[in-house]
Amino acid sequence: MSLAIGPGQRLEDSVSDGSSHPDSSLAGDLRRATGLNVAACYQCGKCSAGCPMAAEMPLKPHQMLRLAQLDLRDELLSDPSPWLCLTCETCTARCPNEVDPARLIDGLREIVFKSGSAVAPLRLRAFHKAFLRQIRRHGRVFEVGLIVDYKRRTGALFDDVLSAPAVFRRGKLALSPSNIEGRDEVRRIFEACGQAAARKEVHS
């Protein structure tokens, strides 16, 4: 699939039908989720050149944005690439046009969750949910809780089980969680985000 801009094609041609109706394209959904304009990306590739996960991603960051511009929703949202992003924000720091690819990629994950869609790979979605649950509960990751939650969600009960004794022996996994001091503040942030998302839903 070519990700180049065709002759005479404007980025805006892909993201808006020019009518007054709410933009139902993926770019429109991203704008509502993040407040950002994916059409501002001019495909220079600087984000992908600095991304520490680019080698593992079937779609590099600039390619994800190109698919969003072209409204190729299923191709993008069924790909594992958005879930491999570490949210390190290197791409955002490198972008010469302040596109904020890291926030846009996070917006893609939000869109998948909001739609209740099963297109994203189960294990990646399961890890994402289990990770956030740990942060909400403890303010940091409690690894054993994360593993149990992840296995419960995926059914992969015996994956990597043989490596567990060695990991415990080396003291790499604590048996009980340790909460950060500001755990209540973290919870309030989660609650505020949930309320903001609900308000956005009502007004959209």
Residues binding ligand SF4 (CB under 6 A):
41-47, 51-53, 61-62, 65, 85-91, 94-95, 97, 99, 101-102, 105
Quick one: 100 or 149, whose CB is closer to ligand SF4?
A: 100
- Give min distance, CB of 31 to ligand SF4, in A: 15
Q: Write the DSSP symbol of residue 47.
A: H
Quick one: 93 or 193, whose CB is closer to ligand SF4?
A: 93
Quick one: 26 or 91, whose CB is closer to ligand SF4?
A: 91
Quick one: 98 or 181, whose CB is closer to ligand SF4?
A: 98
- Give min distance, CB of 14 to ligand SF4, in A: 14
Q: Are 36 and 65 in contact (CB under 8 A)?
A: no
Cα separation, 17 vs 13, whole angstroms: 7
Quick one: 93 or 173, whose CB is closer to ligand SF4?
A: 93
Q: Are 25 and 72 in contact (CB under 8 A)?
A: no
- Give min distance, CB of 36 to ligand SF4, in A: 10
Query: Pick from 37, 49, 27, 50: which is nearest to 98 by CA?
Result: 37
- Using only C-alpha atoms, the chain has a radius of gyration, in whole angstroms, of 19
Cα separation, 168 vs 70, whole angstroms: 48
- Give min distance, CB of 124 to ligand SF4, in A: 14
Cα separation, 133 vs 142, whole angstroms: 10
**DSSP count for the chain of H helices, then E strands:** 11, 0
- Give min distance, CB of 66 to ligand SF4, in A: 8
Cα separation, 170 vs 180, whole angstroms: 23
Tokens, residue 137 = 């509960």
Quick one: 24 or 87, whose CB is closer to ligand SF4?
A: 87
